[in-house]
Copies of this chain bind each other. A is one copy, B any other.
Amino acid sequence: MSNGERDLQRIWTAGLIVIGDEILSGRTQDRNIAQIATWLNVQGIRLAEVRVVPDIEERIIEAIGALRSANDYCFTTGGIGPTHDDITVDAVAKALGVPVAVHPAARAILERYYADKGGLNEGRLRMARVPEGAELIENKMSGAPGIRIGNLFLMAGVPHITAGMLDALSGTLQGGRPLVSVTVGAFAPESEVAEILREAEQAVDGISIGSYPFFKEGRVGSNFVIRSEDSAKANAVAEELAGKLAEVGYATVAGGI
């Protein structure tokens, strides 16, 4: 089966390693987890685990070892820029036991990109370094490409650059059936309807129901998310659940509140 086709017989998973002191210090609000999770779902791949690790080589290597063997795919974000704190390529090369090499096509891309910006220098040339044997992932936003080697995908830390790289990868990874989510919202405290939820989940195989409380306009409510690989089943459970909630006096809003 070639890349991009679907194998509906099994669940395809990915791990994600967010590399960056700026996330662990609280300075930067991560946006890549949600962005990559959403994109993976569309590809029929489930995000199974995320690890956020500091800019320390051994910690990155350890996380790569764990997540790339436990999943079909493993993504990283961060640490592929031009500065001294960008150590992802070296860590990945060590994790894979391969040397780091300058990729000729990456070098050519950077030469073109920086032609009218002062040309290449040592820092900029860093962004052409890849673990030997890697392919490039196109970056339409800012020149320096993402990197693919084996089941590893090295993406940028800046979310809109990663968005472009994901776009370039869309449809190229083999996946399974996308997970469908159907949401039903109600101004119902989840603690009042917990039993109804439990029964609704247990009544049907192949679905799960998540319950997410909120506070809005001074009122307590919950969104109930039915997840399944079978969209007809998810919709039927949502309808059934809405009926049960109506019986105990809670009007529901399809799509959530």
Contact = CB atoms under 8 A, between A and B. Distances in A.
Interface of A: 18, 21-31, 33-41, 46-55, 59, 81-85, 114, 117-118, 121-124, 126-127, 157-158, 160, 179, 181, 189-195, 197-198, 201, 208-215, 225, 227
User: Binding site of A, secondary structure by majority: helix, strand, loop or mixed?
Assistant: mixed
Contact of A208 (B39, B85, B124): B85
B192 A123 contact: yes
Contacts of A124: 191, 194
A124 to B, nearest CB: 5
Counted per complex, copies of this chain come to 2
A66 to B, nearest CB: 9
B28 A212 contact: yes
A115 to B, nearest CB: 14
Contacts of A214: 158
A157 B59 CA distance: 26
A37 B47 contact: no
9 contacts: A22-B212, A23-B50, A25-B37, A25-B181, A26-B40, A49-B54, A83-B211, A84-B211, A158-B213
